[in-house]
Amino acid sequence: MSNADVSAQPAYATPDRALVFELKAPVNDFIRAAQRLGLEWLTEDVPDAPTEDEDSEYAGEDDNGAVLYVTMPSMEGLQRLMALWNRYTAGEARPAEAREWWQLFGYLRDVRTWSAQDRIDPNLAAYISRTMERQPERPVRVELDLWYRQNADLRLVAREYLEALLTVINGRMLDFVTIDPIQYQAALVEIPAGEARALQAMSGRVANADAVMRVRPQSLYQASFGDEIETEAAAANAPAALDDRPAVVALLDGYPVQNHALLANRVDIEEIDVTGAQVPVNRRFHGTAMASLILHGDLSVGDEPLTRALKIIPILAAPQGVRAETTPLERLPIGLVFRAVTALATGLDGSAPLGNRVVLINHSVCDLEAPFAKRPSPWARLLDFLSHRYGVLFIVSAGNIREPFQLDTYASDEELHAADQIQRQVVLLRSLERSKGGRSILSPAESVNALTVGALHADGAGEGPVGIIDPFSPIGVTNLNSATGLGVNRGIKPDLVEAGGRQVLRSEHNNGVVSAWGEEIPQFGQLVATADPFGLTATKIVRSTGTSNAAALVTRTGVKIADVLESLFAEEGQDWSLQPTRAVTLKALLAHGCAWSDVFPLLDKIYPPQDASRWARRRESIARFLGYGSINVDRIVSAEGSRITLLADDIIRHDQRHEYKIPIPRAMIGNRELRRVVTTLAYSSPVDPQSNRYRALALEIVDQNGRRNFWAGVKSIPQPHPEATRRGTLQHLVLEGTKLVSSTATGDFILCVQARATIKAFEPVPAPYALAVTLELGQPVRQDLNVDVATRIRPKVQVGAPIPIRPRVRS
């Protein structure tokens, strides 16, 4: 049995020899026991004991009852192990040769072959009930994830098996997608109502189909807009023609009203799978709104429109009989996204690429049936692969959770409505935090390489009508429906937040419990272009809210930064949009101005745990909602004499450390004025869909000795705990203080970027990264920091041994 394979991901197992180990002790205890008993082979693909970058407070917390998936080398080995387990659970005598197994069994709650209880998604029963509520005999659509086999012939056999199964149960296959790089093979199928009810009972042919790894609800996105449309749009000065510069931004969303007064000659539509004929003009709401926000921002604010063209690949249709725009009902969304991005980057079926200079991809579409739960979804795995493979940055919305959440204070609606505004804010924030388990980010928002955006309760609208409850004053918190993190392996998600429109408070009182939720009204939200429901004009505007809006505004900011980066790289004779580091430089600068601002003291008093010694956990609670905080691009792209931002970018591999010598501005030496040092490291990591570690490379900011001890003179300010920042692909640290910064012999301080492979097979694989550093004094100074540092940094950048330092530092 010593050649077994073990993983925390079921896809790694093999269907005919798959075993499930259900632990009753933390995973790390099981690992140590297996290694102590000489069974190292059993844990070689399972995460190691906690590393130094994992907070001991969390060790073992989430893995009591964890499940490991074991592929035995042969059926004989599987049968022998099951026989031993059956003897152990029956209390029979231990065979002489099974001493180690008897000890190991003490850490296990169950050992079983892969069965219906492992195959059926926990959310499937509720999904089937909702689907059949009005039409009990209506067929139900579900997704079947097949065991991915490396051998193409075996994959074909699995498909043929599935086709035969559907014939037997009178079902039908609607779509079938295989994506080899993420080891994904799945089908969208329609099954009879009787078979659906059997799935709810964990029985039936589909529930026990050996070729099927997982049965899930249909992946589906639905975007609905209100009935109330605003007045005509103000006259828009449409460009005479489409901007002829190569597009750097693409929108994967709904089909827009391309001749809308606000979009005409500003959008470039590429039809791949969804055509204009599938989406009547009077139903093109979501894509039109997203394009409007990217190009113009909130129309209430009056910002200047972008001059660059926006490339759009529609992936939403408007099926007959369905009021909302949706991903096509007979297609797997993951296949649409894969084809769309492939068409942009390399072209489809031998055709030329449609946008190989596109760096930024807005993807404000999510799976309403797939809240994140520990393992990355196939959709998130796809975005992570595409990000790293093609050097693109996905801007993804966190998702909107419209279900009510229970309030912990009020006994009636009347008491809630009559409450003091500030006290009500506190109750709402506390209750949202307590409800976080049911308000997780929606797939693919857990993507580790993407930038995930939550929605702030903010917009450019004025006062609301009398009688409504605006739940929050402008204090910098998320709106009521914005989904919460964390992400894969407790990584920070959402990454940041942006204005997503105000939502009013609605409530209900049932059985002594008051619950609340957020709702759009016509007077609140961001003002955007929209379709005319009657199809008469192309000038209508409307207000809307949500994390999609917030993601669109971050995308808009990204285009502005892209223009700056193009100019910056051009000064050195380089084309930024063709650089391997293009996406990570954009990612670093988008996050570089983020901060929790003035809302931290309030949330620090509200969120648990309130034990002073557990401040790290409390900050994690805040990061679930705010990530690194709200975006502030002005701090990055605008020059100021008391602030300078430096940017470095490079490619790094396992066990390398890149060193950057940064001159300390003379004005910061011997000066007690408040000074701030902001560092942001963004990178793209390959991922291993089979491994529990998932993120194959881990980069971090260290000192010249490879340690996390930085320079004297600054302290950490309210922000996510540094340990938490190392779990994703974005590390953002803000350090400030008034302690003197001593001059060194060279007048520099040193920052390093260090890489390690978390999965051995990826040690040769390179990762692009960008490091942004801002040095700042609290008060204006006579000497311009930009001039001081810029004149000193050029001669400081040189090749050092043994670690190379590339001349890629820009100010």
Residues 676, 803 contacting (CB under 8 angstroms): no
pLDDT of 765 strictly over 90: yes
Q: State the pLDDT at residue 27.
A: 78
The arithmetic mean of pLDDT across residues 722-732, rounded, is: 93
Q: Higher-confidence residue: 635 or 352?
A: 352
Residues 451, 495 contacting (CB under 8 angstroms): yes
Hey, what's the torsion of the CAs at 673, 622, 455, 459, to 10 degrees?
A: -50
User: Does the domain formed by 118-218 have CATH 2.60.320.10?
Assistant: no
Q: Which residues pair with 216 in a beta bridge?
A: 143
- Min mean pLDDT across 320-324, 330-334, 603-607 is at 320-324
pLDDT of 746 strictly over 70: no
> Of 527, 459, 546, 545, nearest to 232 (Cα)?
527
Q: State the pLDDT at residue 502.
A: 97
pLDDT band at 797 (very low <50, low <70, confident <90, very high): very low
pLDDT band at 46 (very low <50, low <70, confident <90, very high): low
What are 127-176's pLDDT values in tens digits? 999 999 989 999 999 999 999 888 899 999 999 999 999 999 999 999 99
Q: Which two tokens stand for residue 45?
A: 């693909």
Q: Higher-confidence residue: 172 or 14?
A: 172
Any idea where the domains of the chain sit in the sequence? 5-114, 118-218, 249-401+441-503+520-570, 638-810
pLDDT of 524 strictly over 70: yes
CA triplet 625, 448, 56: central angle to 5 degrees?
Answer: 70
What are 422-453's pLDDT values in tens digits? 999 999 999 999 999 999 999 999 999 999 99
The arithmetic mean of pLDDT across residues 212-223, rounded, is: 94
Contacts of 159 (CB under 8 A, 6+ apart): 146, 176, 185, 187
Q: State the pLDDT at residue 723.
A: 87
Q: Which two tokens stand for residue 625?
A: 């909602």
The arithmetic mean of pLDDT across residues 191-202, rounded, is: 98
pLDDT band at 682 (very low <50, low <70, confident <90, very high): very high
Element containing residue 380 per DSSP (H, E): helix 378-390
Q: Which CATH class is domain 249-401+441-503+520-570?
A: alpha beta
pLDDT of 52 strictly over 50: no
pLDDT of 51 strictly over 70: no
Q: State the pLDDT at residue 38.
A: 65
What string of DSSP letters covers 682-730? EE---B-TTSSS-B-EEEEEE-TTSSS---TT-EE-SSS-HHHHTTSSE
Hey, what's the torsion of the CAs at 522, 524, 526, 527, to 10 degrees?
A: 40
pLDDT of 792 strictly over 70: no
Strand 697-702 with 643-652, pairing: unpaired
Task: Tell me the C-alpha distance between 811 and 806, whole Å.
Answer: 15
In the chain, what is the greatest distance between 2 CA atoms, to the nearest angstrom?
A: 87
Q: Which two tokens stand for residue 39?
A: 């069974």
Q: State the pLDDT at residue 209.
A: 93
Q: Higher-confidence residue: 305 or 27?
A: 305
The arithmetic mean of pLDDT across residues 24-35, rounded, is: 79
Q: State the pLDDT at residue 721.
A: 86
**Mean pLDDT of the residues in the chain:** 87
pLDDT of 63 strictly over 70: no
Q: Higher-confidence residue: 25 or 441?
A: 441
State the burial class of residue 653 (Cβ atoms within 10 Å of its Cβ: 0-12, 13-18, 19+). Answer: middle
Element containing residue 453 per DSSP (H, E): strand 451-456
* Percent above pLDDT 90 for the chain: 64
> Of 502, 729, 503, 734, nearest to 596 (Cα)?
734
Element containing residue 290 per DSSP (H, E): helix 286-296
Q: State the pLDDT at residue 704.
A: 84
**C-beta contacts of 123-127 below 8 A and 24+ residues apart:** 123/216, 123/217, 123/369, 123/370, 123/371, 124/199, 124/200, 124/215, 124/216, 124/217, 125/199, 125/200, 127/217, 127/218, 127/369
The arithmetic mean of pLDDT across residues 595-615, rounded, is: 89
For tokens 């978390």, name the residue. Answer: 758
Q: State the pLDDT at residue 778.
A: 64
Q: Higher-confidence residue: 548 or 615?
A: 548
Q: State the pLDDT at residue 718.
A: 84
pLDDT of 7 strictly over 50: yes
Strand 67-71 with 5-7, pairing: antiparallel
Q: State the pLDDT at residue 662.
A: 82
pLDDT of 798 strictly over 50: no
- Min mean pLDDT across 13-17, 116-120, 308-312, 785-789 is at 785-789
For 335, the 3-state DSSP assignment is: helix
Contacts of 76 (CB under 8 A, 6+ apart): none
What are 623-679's pLDDT values in tens digits? 999 999 999 888 777 666 677 889 999 999 999 999 998 877 766 666 666 577 899
What are 354-375's pLDDT values in tens digits? 999 999 999 999 999 999 988 8
What are 230-289's pLDDT values in tens digits? 666 655 678 878 888 999 999 999 999 999 999 999 999 999 999 999 999 999 999 999
Q: Higher-confidence residue: 10 or 389?
A: 389
Q: State the pLDDT at residue 499.
A: 98
Task: Tell me the C-alpha distance between 710 and 773, whole Å.
Answer: 14
- Min mean pLDDT across 61-65, 136-140, 424-428, 548-552 is at 61-65
Q: State the pLDDT at residue 796.
A: 32
The arithmetic mean of pLDDT across residues 32-57, rounded, is: 54
Task: Tell me the C-alpha distance between 413 and 672, whole Å.
Answer: 53
Q: State the pLDDT at residue 740.
A: 47
- Output the CA–CA distances (angstroms, integers) from residue 718 to 168, 230, 417, 476, 602, in the order listed: 60, 41, 33, 14, 12
Q: Which two tokens stand for residue 121?
A: 């998604």
pLDDT of 535 strictly over 90: no
Element containing residue 109 per DSSP (H, E): strand 108-113
Q: Which residues pair with 489 in a beta bridge?
A: none
Q: State the pLDDT at residue 54.
A: 43
Residues 633, 500 contacting (CB under 8 angstroms): no
Q: Which residues pair with 595 in a beta bridge?
A: 630
Task: Tell me the C-alpha distance between 356 and 344, whole Å.
Answer: 6
What are 95-107's pLDDT values in tens digits? 988 888 898 899 9
H-type helices in 305-377, by residue range?
333-345
Hey, what's the torsion of the CAs at 534, 538, 544, 549, to 10 degrees?
A: 140
Q: State the pLDDT at residue 668.
A: 64
pLDDT band at 45 (very low <50, low <70, confident <90, very high): very low
